[in-house]
Structure 1
Amino acid sequence: MAKPASRLSDDPETLKAQLVEAQAENERLRQIILAMQRHRFGRRAESLPEDQLLLGLEEAEQVEAAGFAAEEAEPAKKAVRVGKRRTNRGALPAHLPRVETLVDIDSTACPCCSGALHRIGEDVSERLDVVPAQFRVLVIRRPRYACRACEDAFVQAPAPARLIEGGLPTDALVAQVLVSKYADHLPLYRQTQIFARQGVVLDRSTLADWVGRAAFLLRPVHERLLETLKRSGKLFADETTAPVLDPGRGRTKTGQLWAYARDDRPWGGSDPPGVAYVYAPDRTASRPIAHLAGFEGVLQVDGYAAYEVLAKDGAIRLAYCWSHARRLFYELGPASLIATEALARIAALYRIEAEIRARPADERRAVRQERSRPVIEALEPWLREKLGLVSRKSKLADAIRYALSRWAGLSLFLDDGRVEIDSNIVERAIRPLALNRKNALFAGSDGGGQHWAVIASLIETCKLVGVEPHAYLADVITRIVEGHPQRRLDDLLPWAYPVMPALRAVA
């Protein structure tokens, strides 16, 4: 803040310097206030989140549908509206079972002459129906046999293997609990309420036992998933908080879920996408060092300093994220002309990236060399020039220094067509964890955080490759319980399962 008048110098030059310093300090405080206002009253992201946008559209679409229903009370308008619906609704998935109902006339006698009518065709329409989830009990009978002539002869078929010996759930039910908790973000206590509505009373601790046993069983598959991803030449990395109950202190502590993702689809790579999460009780640099042991190649990350340790031996090259660099300028708002100009220059890079998405890596590199490199080469000296004109204590100076200190990593995408301009791919992989954290509030222990990482890794990888997670988990659990050999764990990874076309479109 500005210095008190009693401390102002009588010397004109000194007074001028004091005024410049005061103006710089006032500008810094103004930026802090602006950032606080954005945090308190503004949007949480640069653009409205898709789920929030869709939530608002739902209400508008409901009102529109009610208006259409009123219009259809008139026969003429109803015919037009029904015709449009038939044109736009598309076809129902072919893999869904069909239950046919024949709606026929009462008599085949002609209403005019009473002669016999003959069939000349038919109209077929399809409607989407649902059978609400219903519990059932699978009864397994194992007859026992004995020989009347031999006292000791006793024969019985062995009991089928189970995840929980003597337990109630089938593998499919356990898979349903896992998907509901980690894909649909339904905490176990809510699932017990759903079960209770159908007369199935289960304690939350019982479901927790099922989840823990399943996570333990699936650990080798999770480990193989991570090892497979580390054999790639390029990965994304990010981390997010995972609140964990700390009983000794009567509150929660902050654990971390580290995410390591692969997605080569933007440049037409042949390796399937996947993500592996790893839980750790802290955020120190030793965690990614341990997790990525043996990995060599390009690691795309945000600006967190812990990743810099990985690049010291040269086996790993860091590609930094332009989205994070851009965000610092965006937070300064339109009042800063320098920030506005920086955003415009970065936007030019993103326009080029939009044009070359899904093109081969060599073609992407060639376009970047021709069109993106001049933008980058002009941006660096421009930032250095502006850094000398602004207060070193200002938020703008911080944003410029952030970019310049990571310039080599921010420029790496120019020379490698496989590298993305940002790390948004892994940012998207983090979002489901945030949703689960919001609904479940915290994990019950460090072990619970590890279970979270194991199961979420398999479910999110299923979603990325278009495999239905419930069917996948039910099958994997069954195969492991029945003695699937450890040497064939690759057969249990999500991309070894058939892809459902409808799910691929969603993923």
Structure 2
Amino acid sequence: MVPAQFQVLVIRRPRYACRTCEDAFVQAPAPARLIEGGLPTDALVAQVLVAKYADHLPLYRQAQIFARQGVVLDRSTLADWVGRAAFLLRLVHERLLETLKRSGKLFADETTAPVLDAGRGRTKTGQLWAYARDDRSWGGSDPPGVAYVYAPDRTASRPIAHLAGFEGVLQVDGYAAYEVLAKGGAVRLAYCWSHVRRAFYELAAASPIATEALARIAALYRVEAGIRGRPADQRRAMRQERSRPVIEALEPWLREKLGLVSRKSKLADAIRYALSRWAGLNLFLDDGRVEIDSNIVERAIRPLALNRKNALFAGSDGGGQHWAVIASLIEICKLVGVEPHAYLADVITRIVEGHPQRRLDDLLPWAYPAMPALKAEA
């Protein structure tokens, strides 16, 4: 094991002058850098980004690691590098979200993002919204991806703005903000059976009705386990044959049990949660592309939770936006098996050197070759 080492790159640019000419000097231009006149190469900035957003190392810990190797860097300096890189990559992030919105099916979810409330000495609660695509379970041709978007609140106006122009199936939990998107008819909501199951699971130890509900839902998941990876039309046919009878029997059974329990009980709440979303819970039966739950986007949110646990909070709303930009690109690298350090270093260098905006698709992680070992882990 040879620990990572720092190298100092010295670039010499001699100035040449003609002895017989006045004011005639020639000097090669300095190479473009993200931090003009600064210490870091694009590769070092990429290392800081990967350590923070892929390996969940807060900047103060990175500063300690650098110090052990004889490189003294203040945390504020590292934060400045992160901010500059995120600002540079914002157009790639915007292109990523636009590309995902052209899909016919997306997942959506959100999680809290504590943000320092400047001047008040405490944090406020922002939100990181996640919009994901993953068609591998039915052999779709589009590669998986996720785009995070930071917002200072959790109002319905946020997903409406983020998903402007999207048409298709949106798979979500029971948060009412998404219902506004479906009012125009362009978006159909598919709800999550995992959330329905979760409500009954919490009550199963003391309720035979909840236990029976879990057993019936488990039958649906057994069907899903047998059709995972099959084409969409085969998945639909198997669901019609095996899952539809289970669901058609489950609805009247739930309505019957709702009349037997206290309306103020948690069990009644769990039953009403399912029945009030019944159409969206049935959508997967008629469309083989739709999943039975939204676990795909919940898995995409886990890295955000790890970063939140280690870093505690973002320094500002701008820091939350930087978080969304970098985390989106790194998470897609993980999903498709692209090495994130090499990817970020290359993209930063290409943008700094003047990569044309009309070719932003060339800078998305999907355009880079995957490493077989990383792809296998994804």
TM over 0.5: yes
CA distance in 2, matches of 1:475, 1:377: 53
Displacement of 1:149 in angstroms is: 1.4
The secondary structure found in structure 1 opposite 2:85 is helix
- Post-superposition CA distance 1:291-327 (Å, at most 9, x none): 0000000000000011011000100000000000000
The secondary structure found in structure 1 opposite 2:288 is coil
TM-score by length of 1: 0.74
CA distance in 2, matches of 1:243, 1:152: 57
Following superposition of structure 1 onto structure 2, how do residues 458-473 of structure 1 map, counting pairs within 5 Å? 458-473=329-344
Larger deviation, residues 139-148 vs 312-321: 139-148
CA distance in 2, matches of 1:180, 1:150: 52
Displacement of 1:437 in angstroms is: 0.2
- Post-superposition CA distance 1:109-128 (Å, at most 9, x none): xxxxxxxxxxxxxxxxxxxx
The secondary structure found in structure 2 opposite 1:241 is strand
The secondary structure found in structure 2 opposite 1:131 is coil
CA distance in 1, matches of 2:119, 2:273: 39
Displacement of 1:143 in angstroms is: 1.4
Instruction: Report 1 or 2 for greater relative contact order, CA contacts < 8 Å, sequence distance ≥ 6.
Output: 2
2:58 is equivalent to residue 215 of structure 1: no
Tell me the equivalent position of 1:296: 167
2:144 is equivalent to residue 283 of structure 1: no
Displacement of 1:152 in angstroms is: 1.8
Displacement of 1:131 in angstroms is: 2.1
CA distance in 2, matches of 1:132, 1:411: 54
CA distance in 2, matches of 1:475, 1:506: 23
CA distance in 2, matches of 1:131, 1:231: 45
CA distance in 1, matches of 2:2, 2:104: 46
Displacement of 1:334 in angstroms is: 2.3
Displacement of 1:250 in angstroms is: 1.6
Q: What is the aligned length?
A: 378
CA distance in 2, matches of 1:506, 1:448: 30
- Post-superposition CA distance 1:229-255 (Å, at most 9, x none): 000000000000000000232210000
CA distance in 1, matches of 2:15, 2:283: 70
Tell me the equivalent position of 1:89: none
The secondary structure found in structure 2 opposite 1:421 is coil
Displacement of 1:330 in angstroms is: 0.3
CA distance in 2, matches of 1:255, 1:402: 26
- Post-superposition CA distance 1:181-228 (Å, at most 9, x none): 011010101000000001101111110110000000000000000000
- Post-superposition CA distance 1:136-182 (Å, at most 9, x none): 10111111111111122111111110101101000000000000001
Displacement of 1:390 in angstroms is: 0.7
The secondary structure found in structure 2 opposite 1:201 is coil
TM-score by length of 2: 0.99
254, 258, 261: which one pairs with 2:129? Answer: 258
- Post-superposition CA distance 1:251-277 (Å, at most 9, x none): 100000000000000000000000000
CA distance in 2, matches of 1:464, 1:437: 20
The secondary structure found in structure 2 opposite 1:136 is coil
CA distance in 2, matches of 1:334, 1:374: 27
- Post-superposition CA distance 1:466-502 (Å, at most 9, x none): 1000000000000000000000000000000001000
Quote the sequence identity (%).
Answer: 93
* Unmatched tracts of structure 2, length 5 or more: none
CA distance in 2, matches of 1:248, 1:369: 58
CA distance in 1, matches of 2:318, 2:24: 47
Coordinate RMSD, CA, aligned: 0.6
CA distance in 2, matches of 1:146, 1:131: 46
- Post-superposition CA distance 1:7-65 (Å, at most 9, x none): xxxxxxxxxxxxxxxxxxxxxxxxxxxxxxxxxxxxxxxxxxxxxxxxxxxxxxxxxxx
The secondary structure found in structure 1 opposite 2:2 is coil
- Post-superposition CA distance 1:434-466 (Å, at most 9, x none): 000000000000000000000000000110111
CA distance in 1, matches of 2:142, 2:14: 49
The secondary structure found in structure 1 opposite 2:13 is coil
Displacement of 1:416 in angstroms is: 0.2
CA distance in 2, matches of 1:149, 1:339: 95
Displacement of 1:361 in angstroms is: 0.3
CA distance in 2, matches of 1:335, 1:212: 51
CA distance in 2, matches of 1:213, 1:297: 35
Displacement of 1:333 in angstroms is: 2.6
CA distance in 1, matches of 2:362, 2:190: 32
* Unmatched tracts of structure 1, length 5 or more: 1-129
CA distance in 2, matches of 1:416, 1:468: 34
Larger deviation, residues 469-478 vs 242-251: 242-251
| Structure 1: 4+ residue segments shifted above 4 A | none
The secondary structure found in structure 1 opposite 2:205 is coil
CA distance in 1, matches of 2:150, 2:21: 58
CA distance in 2, matches of 1:141, 1:273: 44
CA distance in 2, matches of 1:468, 1:370: 43
CA distance in 2, matches of 1:238, 1:224: 20
239, 251, 261: which one pairs with 2:110? Answer: 239
- Post-superposition CA distance 1:54-88 (Å, at most 9, x none): xxxxxxxxxxxxxxxxxxxxxxxxxxxxxxxxxxx
The secondary structure found in structure 2 opposite 1:258 is strand
CA distance in 2, matches of 1:203, 1:401: 54
